[in-house]
Each structure stands twice: as C-alpha cells, then as structure tokens.
Amino acid sequence: MKDYKAIFEKVESILISVGSANLSAEKFRANLDEFKHLEGKAFSDADYYWILVYVVFYAGFRAATVNAKLNLIRQYFPDYKTVAGYDETKSDEILSDPKMIRNRRKVQACIENAKVFKSIFSEYGSFQAYIDSFSPTASFENLMLLKEELEYRFKGLGRITTYHVLTDIGLPVLKPDRVICRIFQRLGLIESDEQLLKTVIQGRKFAQATGHPIRYVDIVFVAYGQVKSQEFGLANGICLEQSPLCSICGVTDYCNYFAQNIAHPKVYSKTSVPFS
C-alpha cells in the first residue's frame, strides 16, 4: 500500500525548495496557499459563467497561450446575459480579431453555454442553486452525477475538462490531466492515463491522508510535473515527460519510471534490440 502522506510531503517539500530559489519564500508560500482556500468559497453567477468560458478555451491548448489572452477573452465574454444575445455577426466579429484565439468551436460553445446558463438561472434562480440541487458534497455518487450532467448540458466540456470545472468551483476532485496522470502512473497509482476516475480517486486519497484540500493537492502535483509554472518560480517542473529531473526528485523510492529507467535501465542484446 502506498504511503500517500509521505509521497505528498516529499513532493511538496522539493517543490517549495526549488521554487523558493527563484521567488521569496513568503511569495512562494502565498501563491501556493491560495489553493488551500477554494473549497467552500462562494461563487456568483458571473464567476460560474467565467469558469465555463475559460475552461473551454484551455481545453486542448497550451496554458501559456490562453493565459496571454484571458483579458481579451473576458472582454468578449463578460457575462452570460450579454453573451446569450450574441448572433452570428458577433461571433464573426470575435473570430476576425487577430489578437483573439480564433477557434470557432470554442467561441460557439461559449455562446451556446451562455444560453444554457440563462435557462438554468430561469429555472433555479441561480447557478449555485442548480449545483446545490445535486448535493455534490454529500456523496461521491452525487458528485459524479453532477459531473455527468455538466458534461451533457454544456458544449466544449469533455471527460477531463468537466473535472476542471468541478475542481475550480471548489468541489472535492482534481483534474486528471496528462501531467497528473503521468505522475500517478509513474508512482504506480494508475496503469494508464485513460483511467480518469481512478486518478480522481487516488487524488482524493492524497487529500484524505494529508488533510489538505484536494485543490491544493492538484496544484502541487501539476506544478511538480508541468513544463513551466511562473507563479511558483519554476522555469521547469521536476517530473517532466521528457528528461525528468530524477536527481532532485524526492519520491524516486516510489517511482516505477526511476526503477525501470534510471536505477535499473534495460540492457538489450544485439538480437533483442526493440524496434522503437
């Protein structure tokens, strides 16, 4: 059985050590601790719609690309009431802006989602009331029902990105993206990056073992494996897809990748060289 608490504490410790070399320790901790206070946070209807917008734009795109455009995206999609009234002419205007991410499917998804959002508001009085109708914190089953509902009703939300929405509205799941799946697979917690639900469950085990909110668990692992995390002073992460920094990683004792490729690399004979 994996020692979730020990693994997380070592990952967190190395992350803080590396990040603090480029940021002041106070600034680093402040940026990191921000993610400890999202569960239970109150969200307005405007907040909820904005989350639905930026998640759609982040899906399948490099984070740095979207980050550079967020202010402009928000100008075009300020609130669901305004956007629900957009027509094809407005859509074409957005897509003609050379500074904008000109992806028609994403733009159309945000417009259609504003209309869905408006209908939910008409029925429930607020998006929060709609979320609460599922009692998502009462059981994991309820949480997964909400996940399925959001994925069904809103365009541009898929198997992974719907988890992104749930994570960012403070519900107890992490986003099983390629970074977290890679780390969890190397740690032997999952067998494949297709095991999204198992990845989420493993993330919840880290939260239970450490007492940290799962959003904090999520951001620590993401920063640990992401190519670049400027807010944490990291020019490069540690558990990278290519050339991971195993020499400074604190969890090599638990890592299948390290055991197979670094500690005991495979040696092939001339007659058994793999085609890859």
d(CA 25, CA 43): 30
Same domain, 49 and 164: yes
Same domain, 206 and 142: no
Q: What is the pLDDT of residues 42-57, one digit of tens each?
A: 899 999 999 999 999 9
Residue 272 has pLDDT above 80, yes or no: no
CA 247 to the chain's CA centroid: 26
**Structural domain span for residue 201:** 4-38+174-259
Same domain, 226 and 194: yes
Among candidate residues 168, 187, 221, the one where a domain is terminated: 168
pLDDT confidence tier of residue 264, bands split at 50, 70 and 90: low
Q: What percent of the chain has pLDDT over 70?
A: 94
pLDDT confidence tier of residue 34, bands split at 50, 70 and 90: confident
Per-residue pLDDT at 274: 44
Span 167-186, mean pLDDT? 94
Same domain, 85 and 163: yes
Span 245-254, mean pLDDT? 93
Look at the chain and report how many structural domains it folds into.
2
Cβ atoms 186, 257 nearer than 8 A:
yes
Same domain, 54 and 26: no
Span 97-107, mean pLDDT? 96
199 within some domain: yes
Residue 268 has pLDDT above 80, yes or no: no
87 within some domain: yes
Among candidate residues 136, 168, 200, the one where a domain is terminated: 168
Per-residue pLDDT at 266: 57
Span 79-86, mean pLDDT? 97
Per-residue pLDDT at 265: 65
Same domain, 94 and 157: yes
Residue 276 has pLDDT above 50, yes or no: no
Report for 17-31, 110-124, 216-230: range of highest mean pLDDT: 110-124
Residue 81 has pLDDT above 90, yes or no: yes
d(CA 202, CA 188): 11
How much is the mean pLDDT over the chain?
91
Residue 256 has pLDDT above 90, yes or no: yes
- Number of continuous H segments (helices) and E segments (strands) in the chain: 15, 0
Q: Please give the DSSP secondary-structure letter assigned to residue 87.
A: -
| SS3 assignment, position 37 | coil
pLDDT confidence tier of residue 275, bands split at 50, 70 and 90: very low
148-156 contact pairs (CB < 8 A, 24+): 153/116, 154/52, 154/109, 154/113, 154/116, 155/56, 155/108, 155/109, 155/112, 155/113, 156/55, 156/56, 156/59, 156/105, 156/106, 156/109, 156/110, 156/113
At position 95, the amino acid (one-letter code) is L
